[in-house]
Amino acid sequence: MKKLSGILLFLLFCFTIQAQERQIDVIQFTGKVVTEDPDGNVIGLPYTNVAIEGTTRGVVTEYDGYFSFVARKGEKVVFSRIGFKTVEYVIPDTLKSDLYSMIQILSQDNILLPEIVIYPWPSREHFKQDLLAMDISDDLRDQARKNLAADVLQEMRYAVPVDGREAASLVFKQTANEAVYAGQYKPQRIFDVFAWKQFIEAWKRGDFKKKKKKESNY
């Protein structure tokens, strides 16, 4: 029994040492990614990719540049973000603690692209030749004048649907107006003198009359 107990204690001691070595091999890697603002102050850099090279392990820094994830000793960490120079860092393999922290500085990477001018013709000379040879008849002038008429443009202004940017701007304005009168009654403009003035002027101009749709080529 004594021999058996001694063997069990020896095996338990070996397993404990191996478990401690494996546990130390895995660390909690934390830190902060910073950069320099236009005024020369050090600020946290959010949305920076902090990943272990060759693996799918990693995180994205928070709004203040903070990150934290599990890594191993000796692994290579890659810090990357659009508009900044990529930095690689190797975690020391001589760590005796399971916690490791660092502060990584990223510098901006400005790429100056040459100016490009795109022409629908091979060169300026070809453009001049085509422009001088262009036949601008009276019919084309009359058609262009009709398409640019004030009433045609006004009709197009109401007929053409708004794009995404205009629709989003309208929604934001409506939301802001509703927030102004939240929890109270909106003012009634029936006694607003200026509103009545605008209504009478619009009535005199005939804005409320049903207009016939005009045929136009545009």
50 class by beta-carbon count within 10 Å (0-12 exposed, 13-18 middle, 19+ buried): buried
Contacts of 161 (CB under 8 A, 6+ apart): none
Is residue 132 scored above 80 in pLDDT? no
Phi-psi region of 58 (alpha: psi -120 to 50; beta: other; left: phi over 0): left
The domains of the chain, with CATH numbers, are 2-105 (2.60.40.1120), 124-205 (no CATH)
Higher pLDDT: 117 or 199? It is 199
Direct distance between the N- and C-terminal alpha carbons of the chain, in angstroms, rounded to an integer: 103
pLDDT in tens, 78-124: 999 988 999 999 999 888 888 999 999 999 887 767 777 777 777 77
Which range in 12-21, 68-77, 136-145, 184-193 is most confidently predicted, on average pLDDT? 68-77
User: By percentage, how much of the chain surpasses pLDDT 90?
Assistant: 28
The pLDDT of residue 11 is 54
